[in-house]
A and B are shown apart, each in its own frame.
Chain A
Amino acid sequence: MTKKKSEGANEDQTIETKKKSVSAVKSQKEKPVVAKQSLSGSLNSDDFDSDVFDSEDDASQRETEGGGKDSSEDELELHGHEGSDDDDEGEQVDSENEGSEEREVAEESDSSEDEVAPRNTVGDVPLEWYKDEKHIGYDITGKKITKKEKQDKLDSFLANMDDSKNWRKIYDEYNDEEVELTKEESKLIRRMLKGEAPHADFDPYAPYVDWFKWDDAIHPLSSAPEPKRRFIPSKWEAKKVVKYVRAIRKGLIKFDKPEEEPNVYLLWGDDSASDQKSKHLTYIPPPKLKLPGHEESYNPSLEYIPTEEEKAAYELMYEEDRPKFIPKRFTSLRSIPAYENALKESFDRCLDLYLCPRVRKKRINIDPESLKPKLPSRKDLRPYPNSCYLEYKGHTGAVTSVSPDCSGQWIASGSADGSVRIWEVETGRCLKVWQFKEPVKCVAWNPLPDFPILAVAIGQDLVILNTELGTDEEQQKIEELLRLGTLPEQDEAVAAIVSWLPDETYGGIKIKHFKNISYVDWHPRGDYLSAVMSAGETRGVVIHQLSMHKTQRLPIKMRGLPVCTLFHPTHRGMFIIATKKNVRVFNLQKRELAIKKLETGLREISSMAIHPGGDNLIVGSKEGKMCWFDMDLSSKPYKTLKNHPKDITNVAFHRSYPLFASCSEDSTAYVFHGKVYSDLNENPLIVPLEILRGHSTSSDRGVLDCKFHPRQPWLFTAGADSVIKLYCH
């Protein structure tokens, strides 16, 4: 309240001063500019504006000089008003007032024009022309106005900081002086910045005064007649309106904002309505992510954490084999760090969801044992060879071939050391030994019981040996047979590849071939004998007739390399040749093309055996597979068994029991039950019975030959470990 009072007092004072200034103005009325100023009334502050900001030309400067002084007085008056209005400014305004009062007093004391600082008269030229000069320009009298001394920057800064009015000071480069804006001026600037009229009292929306109309006007301003357009409504407007109306009617223009539909609502209100079948493909739901196990815990049991060595081993693994997640242990919840793969895993899941083909897969959850077929009990299929009963030892090299005689009393064997031995089956006694220079490839006993002779393949020679078993009568016959008298005429082609010679060392017949013999087989009648030379290609198979001492070439053309041959057990003229890939059946009597071709699908056939019934054939291959052919049924295998991991060396059928066997380089022999029914509709029954082990591998070879005993369900196996074994039931 007291402050206000004092301000009130101030106001009184200023009113007084105003009166004074008005009188001063009146006294100076002779100057036209001043007169103009007083006419425009409150426009005086505009002048200040021009003084400070516009670098007006010098003449007007001069003219307004008097007014300038005048307006400074006006400003004072305004200050007074301000001070009374503003409660907040209080003290400062007061002091200002006091200061201005003092100045006014000083002005009043001597108001001569000499006191005014020299004004620059250089005009509107770039000020940088005077940059390097000592003066800033010239005053009205043409004297140089020298530049003021530059104040020390630090000092000026400090002074500025101390000065509370510093923000109002502006440096005028033109006159080289510092101008302090008055409060009024700063307000004016503020107004202009706002885009308002500079003067506070100016009313931009003053009521319109129509100067051209007055009440007692006699004549109109224009005598032109009123145009038509003033009277009729605008056509274009009407068109526009119609357009809008139509748009509104159509709903193209909407006035109020469309109502916001609720973002969420009850989507699945009544589920019963939605059970109609969708026309689309069935939806396959994505598989759920695997649920975490114990090892993913932040604090798993210690046994789930891999040891250091295991972790090191992970580093050595290929990246795809490496476990994706390595369990870690944190002893408290607060120590778990952020999982760095969180985003990545989420992203991978997304990719899986929209990029991976989805297939509904049936996962079988069964015991794998239930997949195994139910086989008839092995007990019911007895007898079959299952354990080693005897070993025949004596050979020093691998036993390549064995052959039991048809009575089952003797067995002949040939070995890589060049010896051929005859053993007594039941005792294992070695009856006879023949020694040759080359390794024995194959031995075969004549199937006739009264002709105990042996065919032995040694290198290029096929030697027919007299075993000197049997009665004297039989011996006579044999000797007669083996005596080469005058040899019959041979074909030229045959003579080129085969020659019949007497064997000097052991008194048999030696049939010399042009290539190494790999396989020998007797005809069931015992007169014919076939020899296979694998390297002989088209001339690889020859048939010898012992009674005539004659050799025939195969009357048909061969395809591929022959591996082994068979005479059909029941049909007289049938001859079976296995080449590397296929098996062909010929009829020798009719001399025609192959009757039948069996497609084995094997890579390389190694051996072949025929069922005594003559309709079924088994073929062993070097990839360890064995095929059973039912020749009446199809040219494709009825059953393919993959039983050996290594080459099958030989396969054999039993002559009377429903048994067959295979032996392989992996030094095992398999015994199967293979029953052929007389009923043609019934498929043969094949049951694996026993795996016979016992041979040891020597120089990567296992069992080289296997043959069944002709009467008993026994199996002879010839091993590369120079042992012959007899497996009994």
Chain B
Amino acid sequence: MPKHYRPAGKKKEGNAARYMTRSQALKSLQVNLNLFRRLCIVKGIFPREPKKKVKGNHHTYYHVKDISFLQHEPLLEKFREIKTYQKKVQKAKAKKNEELARLLLTRQPTYKLDRLIRERYPTFIDALRDLDDCLTMVHLFAVLPASDRENLEVKRVHNCRRLSHEWQAYISRTHALRKVFVSVKGIYYQAELEGQKITWLTPHAIQQVFTNDVDFGVLLTFLEFYETLLAFTNFKLYHSLNVKYPPILDSRLEALAADLYALSRYIDASSRGMTVEAKVDASSSSQSNDRAESELRLAQLQHQLPSSEPGALMHLVADKEVEEDEETRACKSLFKDLKFFLSREVPRESLLFVLPAFGGTVSWEGEGAPFKEDDESITHHIIDKPSAGHMYLSREYVQPQWIYDCVNARVILPTEKYLVGRIPPPHLSPFVDNEAEGYVPDYAETIKRLQAAARNDVLPLPGVGKEDLEDPQNLLYAGVMSRAEEAEAAKTKKKMAELEKQYHEELKKEVTGSAVDDVAAAPVVEGGDGEESSVPDAAQIAQDTADMPTLMMSRKKRKLYDAMKIGQKKKSESVERIKQRKKNLKADQ
């Protein structure tokens, strides 16, 4: 810690002793700003807000404990070592000693971040809790072009790509995916792992552009940490599935850029391989070394299975898993008996991830696909063209949005609105609580009715047969019926509310009216016209009555109250605006 002069027996106390500015921290750590930033990023140290800012408002304050935490970090030493080593290399280069420089570069000191990860996230749950940013970043870098200028190597991009695929393969395999939302920014996914909701954003699979206003140094430092974190997380997850990590992929599929498919096959294969192996080796457990090897061979054998055999994937998925909650089961069986075929123009990676996660069987147009387009058992053909060429009668041609909407609604929606060439119904965010927001879009209501109808079907009720559910027309009809009922209910509710309001007003009048009656009883009134103005309207009185207690609030509470009121007003205003727009749109039609 920096030593300042202070009179003997006087200790620095309070905020002055507990917090230090950034430049003080740099001085005490004897590092430059760049290194300090890197350390802060990997160590997860952030500035804190002291109650009293001793040095002024325009400084960044760090807690003294945080800085001493950094000071005892072995990585700091390592970074210093690297720095001096770099100087050696530079010296060799400056002396035109290329050979020495090359030799030195091959022996560069390296560092590892695993200990830091363990330190920052003592339990696995902690790591999962903070995984959102990590996943978003890794998925973003997986689609970035490698760039010399920004010091972004191909190796790292590939690593990001591999990690993201591994993650997706796990999520898909364990059916942990819960929500998908296609936004303008990319595709949001939400998965639930060990009770943690993990949301991440993957950019659309289109060439990304570099902008000039970002500092890649910072981004890459973050990426370095995130890559390590995700690798360890993946290891743990794969370990829980009894699958070897890092996975060994079918090179043929990898070459065809069907990494995800290759991975899922690997997981399926090796997890089954393990179970088989466990049975076999129960008696002869001595050859553990052999076992790993044979397991590997088995896994590789699995890869060599004819890839056009769709059942291989499906029946493996059907392996019973011990801990499965209600929701996972629901997710698993959403697309259970459906077979999908993806056209060339649909976002293949996303759908290859989503469909198996909800129990569907997928194939695509291109090499390495498990089954071909002319397969008779295909039930849905996902297509994103204005019109399909040759159409098979046995399958439905739907737009990709149908899948996402089905996933979010957890029911198989009627496909007729999503058929080829039509403009699909609005895609709604699954992350919004419509009731709390105060505005429910029309399509959300439709979906709700369909969900209710689906639930009715599961509980055998008289009147709603199975064929009713299967026929989308009937389903819609049911929806309409319930809609009419709902409208009626709303009407009665409104009437009730009106009556109630009237009653309240009358009560209020009674309260104020006693005086009014007195006035009426009073004999002569000069300036009779004054009477109307002197009796204010009921709304004003109500307002006054409501405002009266605010006079007695303390200033702090009053400010809080006002702020809350402003917030509520803003929210209701935005809802009003949307409603107004809707009204205008209806008027235009």
Chain A positions within 8 Å of B, measured between CB atoms, are 263-268, 271, 274-275, 278, 280-281, 283-286, 288-289, 291-294, 296-307, 325, 327-328, 330-334, 336-347, 349-351, 353-359, 364, 368, 371-375, 379, 386-393, 427-428, 641-643, 686-691, 693-694, 696, 723, 725, 728-729
**Cα distance A334–B535 when bound, in Å?**
65
| B470 on the A face (CB < 8 A) | no
User: Smallest CB-CB separation from B421: which chain A residue?
Assistant: A332
User: Smallest CB-CB separation from A349: which chain B residue?
Assistant: B133
Contact among B40, B199, B232 with A267 in the assembled complex (CB-CB below 8 Å): B232
| B85 on the A face (CB < 8 A) | no
Interface contact B530-A723, CB-CB below 8 Å? yes
**What would 12 more interface pairs be, CB under 8 Å, given A267-B236, A693-B536?**
A265-B114, A267-B117, A286-B133, A307-B581, A331-B423, A333-B346, A334-B345, A343-B208, A353-B41, A358-B47, A387-B518, A427-B526
Interface contact B132-A288, CB-CB below 8 Å? yes
**Cα distance A417–B218 when bound, in Å?**
77
**Cα distance A338–B184 when bound, in Å?**
8
| 10 residue pairs A–B, Cβ–Cβ below 8 Å | A267-B232, A285-B130, A297-B429, A299-B401, A299-B427, A338-B207, A346-B136, A355-B46, A389-B518, A391-B534
Interface contact B132-A289, CB-CB below 8 Å? yes
Chain B residues 70-100 with CB under 8 Å of chain A are: none
Interface contact B427-A372, CB-CB below 8 Å? no
Interface contact A268-B124, CB-CB below 8 Å? yes
Interface contact B426-A368, CB-CB below 8 Å? no
- Shortest Cβ distance from B562 into chain A, in angstroms? 9
Residues of B within 8 A of A691 (CB): 544, 548
Residues of A within 8 A of B222 (CB): 350, 353
The answer to whether residues A281 and B565 also contact, given A337-B206, A643-B551 and a CB cut-off of 8 A, is no
| B560 on the A face (CB < 8 A) | yes
Interface contact B210-A304, CB-CB below 8 Å? no
Interface contact A292-B431, CB-CB below 8 Å? yes
Interface contact A338-B209, CB-CB below 8 Å? yes
Chain B residues 361-408 with CB under 8 Å of chain A are: 384-385, 399-401
Instruction: Enumerate the 10 nearest inter-chain pairs by beta-carbon distance, A residue then B residue, closest first.
Output: A388-B534, A291-B431, A368-B564, A372-B549, A303-B582, A347-B214, A387-B515, A428-B526, A301-B426, A268-B124
Best-buried of A274, A288, A303, A307 by chain B (most CB within 10 Å): A303
Interface contact A301-B122, CB-CB below 8 Å? no
**Cα distance A729–B524 when bound, in Å?**
17
Residues of A within 8 A of B533 (CB): 694, 696
Best-buried of A265, A368, A428 by chain B (most CB within 10 Å): A368
**Cα distance A711–B102 when bound, in Å?**
106
Contact among A281, A333, A340, A350 with B401 in the assembled complex (CB-CB below 8 Å): A333
**Interface residue stretch chosen among B60-68, B167-175, B263-271, B332-340:** B60-68
Best-buried of B199, B511, B581 by chain A (most CB within 10 Å): B581
Contact among B182, B346, B536, B578 with A304 in the assembled complex (CB-CB below 8 Å): B578
User: Smallest CB-CB separation from B551: which chain A residue?
Assistant: A688
Interface contact B188-A291, CB-CB below 8 Å? yes
Contact among A274, A355, A373 with B122 in the assembled complex (CB-CB below 8 Å): A274
Chain B residues 540-574 with CB under 8 Å of chain A are: 540, 544, 548-553, 557, 560-561, 564-565, 568
- Shortest Cβ distance from A371 into chain B, in angstroms? 5
Residues of A within 8 A of B182 (CB): 297-299, 333, 336
- Shortest Cβ distance from B222 into chain A, in angstroms? 5
Chain B residues 490-536 with CB under 8 Å of chain A are: 511-512, 515-516, 518-519, 522, 524-527, 530-531, 533-536
Interface size on B, residues (CB 8 A): 120
| B432 on the A face (CB < 8 A) | yes
Contact among A301, A306, A336 with B442 in the assembled complex (CB-CB below 8 Å): A301
- Shortest Cβ distance from B558 into chain A, in angstroms? 8
Interface contact B48-A357, CB-CB below 8 Å? yes
Interface contact B185-A344, CB-CB below 8 Å? no
Residues of A within 8 A of B219 (CB): 343, 346-347, 350
Interface contact A368-B568, CB-CB below 8 Å? yes
| B441 on the A face (CB < 8 A) | yes
Residues of A within 8 A of B60 (CB): 355, 357
| B215 on the A face (CB < 8 A) | yes
**Cα distance A689–B552 when bound, in Å?**
11
Interface contact B401-A265, CB-CB below 8 Å? no
Contact among B46, B208, B525, B549 with A357 in the assembled complex (CB-CB below 8 Å): B46
User: Smallest CB-CB separation from B37: which chain A residue?
Assistant: A354
Interface contact A354-B40, CB-CB below 8 Å? yes
Chain B residues 185-222 with CB under 8 Å of chain A are: 185-186, 188, 199, 203-204, 206-211, 213-215, 218-219, 222
User: Smallest CB-CB separation from B547: which chain A residue?
Assistant: A691
Residues of B within 8 A of A334 (CB): 345-346, 384-385
Interface of A is mostly: loop
Contact among B204, B211, B218 with A344 in the assembled complex (CB-CB below 8 Å): B211
Residues of B within 8 A of A342 (CB): 140, 185-186, 203, 208
Contact among A299, A355, A389 with B47 in the assembled complex (CB-CB below 8 Å): A355
**Cα distance A125–B236 when bound, in Å?**
81
Contact among B129, B426, B553 with A371 in the assembled complex (CB-CB below 8 Å): B553
**Cα distance A331–B60 when bound, in Å?**
47
| B181 on the A face (CB < 8 A) | yes
Interface contact B140-A339, CB-CB below 8 Å? no
User: Smallest CB-CB separation from B442: which chain A residue?
Assistant: A301
Interface contact A292-B124, CB-CB below 8 Å? no
- Shortest Cβ distance from B418 into chain A, in angstroms? 11
Contact digits for B420-459, partner A, Cβ 8 Å, 1 yes 0 no: 0001101111011000010001110000000000000000
Residues of B within 8 A of A339 (CB): 184-186, 203-204
Interface contact A350-B427, CB-CB below 8 Å? no
The answer to whether residues A301 and B46 also contact, given A296-B185, A296-B429, A333-B384 and a CB cut-off of 8 A, is no
Interface contact B246-A291, CB-CB below 8 Å? no
Interface contact B399-A332, CB-CB below 8 Å? yes
- Shortest Cβ distance from A77 into chain B, in angstroms? 48
Residues of A within 8 A of B137 (CB): 346, 350
Residues of B within 8 A of A300 (CB): 426-428
| B318 on the A face (CB < 8 A) | no
- Shortest Cβ distance from A274 into chain B, in angstroms? 4
| B123 on the A face (CB < 8 A) | yes
| B297 on the A face (CB < 8 A) | no
Residues of B within 8 A of A391 (CB): 525-527, 530, 534
**Cα distance A229–B424 when bound, in Å?**
97
**Cα distance A354–B44 when bound, in Å?**
7
Interface contact A357-B66, CB-CB below 8 Å? no
Interface contact B210-A281, CB-CB below 8 Å? no
Best-buried of B120, B384, B534 by chain A (most CB within 10 Å): B534
Residues of B within 8 A of A274 (CB): 122-123
**Cα distance A391–B531 when bound, in Å?**
9
Interface contact A371-B560, CB-CB below 8 Å? yes
- Shortest Cβ distance from A518 into chain B, in angstroms? 29
The answer to whether residues A266 and B553 also contact, given A343-B214, A391-B530 and a CB cut-off of 8 A, is no
Interface contact B540-A693, CB-CB below 8 Å? yes
Residues of A within 8 A of B516 (CB): 387
- Shortest Cβ distance from B253 into chain A, in angstroms? 23
Contact digits for B131-158, partner A, Cβ 8 Å, 1 yes 0 no: 0110011001000100000000000000
Interface contact B431-A373, CB-CB below 8 Å? no
Residues of B within 8 A of A289 (CB): 132-133, 136, 199
**Cα distance A358–B550 when bound, in Å?**
33
Interface contact A299-B231, CB-CB below 8 Å? no
Residues of A within 8 A of B27 (CB): none
The answer to whether residues A293 and B46 also contact, given A328-B184, A354-B41, A391-B530 and a CB cut-off of 8 A, is no
**Cα distance A372–B235 when bound, in Å?**
54
Interface contact B218-A351, CB-CB below 8 Å? yes
Interface contact B127-A288, CB-CB below 8 Å? no
- Shortest Cβ distance from B491 into chain A, in angstroms? 23
Residues of B within 8 A of A345 (CB): 185
Interface contact B206-A338, CB-CB below 8 Å? yes
| B585 on the A face (CB < 8 A) | yes
| B183 on the A face (CB < 8 A) | yes
